[in-house]
Amino acid sequence: MSWGLNNRLNRVLPGLANGTGSVMFAIDHGYFMGPTSGLENPKDTIVPLLSYGDSLMLARGILQSCIPQDCSLPIVLRVSSGNSILNEDMSNEELCVSTEDAIRLNVSAVAFSIYVGAEYEHQTLVEFSKLINEAHRYGIPVLAVTAVGKQMNRDLRYLSLASRIAAELGADIIKTYYCEDFSRLVNVCHVPVVIAGGKKIPEADALQLAYNAVSDGASGVDMGRNIFQAESPVDMIQAVRSVVVEGVSPKEAYKKYKSALK
């Protein structure tokens, strides 16, 4: 691994260096969901949260139009797209942002969705591999957003299949979902694994989820809706951070979150 790639990886996941988790803050939902609740006006709602994340995952348009140019947070740029929530099968994604443009945007990593077991599995895996060829030439780490076919459960069997495939193809970071026996998934991937938060759940449950993931070996969270759709996003991202980075118990973090709301 080149020094540049390693350096970028450690900036995206600073917890790797000291054995803690890291908080990636994901706001890329609009690339297939449109004006997602909580992200209607990212300039007003998201910018105040940036100082509490370790890195920011988003799509090109929002980066260019809403994120201040003096932002020092490492950027993880989504480079795959090609479908919307209106499609029944959402796996028809391709590489849509060049590595040249990613470099121009000064990103620290790029993110690409693979869809294992879905209609366009082959296409996404081949495009993903080609992206790795290109991005690694310039020392840019690649994060695999792992999705499984919609008829498959998000359980250990399918999530570890997708995650291991991503690792075998050369991913530098795997993003998947938390599942029962999650540590077994982490053990079959030889690169850092982070979990997505998924749909909005009660804040106490989201904090417990983050805690469980890190306790089971995740290198952190790549969390979106459970932060920006929380009753108080700025307090929630701090609560998530306290659990993931500082090892505060989810109960304690939730207590602090609740008292900050008053």
Catalytic residues: 175
Q: How far is the CB of 196 from ligand R5P (least distance, A)?
A: 4
Q: Quick check: 23 and 221 in contact, CB under 8 A?
A: yes
Task: Tell me how many residues contact ligand R5P (CB under 6 A).
Answer: 13
Q: How far is the CB of 262 from ligand R5P (least distance, A)?
A: 26
Q: How far is the CB of 87 from ligand R5P (least distance, A)?
A: 14
Q: Quick check: 182 and 207 in contact, CB under 8 A?
A: no
- CA distances for 204 relative to 44, 50, 80, 201, 260, angstroms: 25, 22, 32, 8, 14
Q: Which of 127, 177, 178, 142 is nearest to 57 (CA)?
A: 142
Q: Are strands 94-95 and 80-81 parallel, antiparallel or unpaired?
A: antiparallel
Q: How far is the CB of 3 from ligand R5P (least distance, A)?
A: 28
Q: List the beta bridge partners of residue 112.
A: 144
Kindly indicate which of the ranges 102-110, 117-125, 158-166, 192-200 contains the residues binding ligand R5P, using the contact rule CB under 6 A. Answer: 192-200
Applying CB under 6 A, among 26, 39, 167, 239 the residue interacting with ligand R5P is 26
Kindly indicate which of the ranges 85-93, 133-141, 194-202, 242-250 contains the residues binding ligand R5P, using the contact rule CB under 6 A. Answer: 194-202
Alpha-carbon distance 223 to 23, whole Å?
8
Site for ligand R5P in 56-115 (CB under 6 A): 57
Q: Draw the binding track, 198-237, toward ligand R5P (x: CB under 6 A; -: no contact).
A: x-----------------------xxxxx-----------
Q: Is 29 in the site for ligand R5P (CB under 6 A)?
A: yes
- CA distances for 60 relative to 27, 38, 163, 230, 254, angstroms: 11, 18, 25, 24, 33
Using CB under 6 A, list all residues that contact ligand R5P. Answer: 26, 28-29, 57, 145, 196-198, 222-226
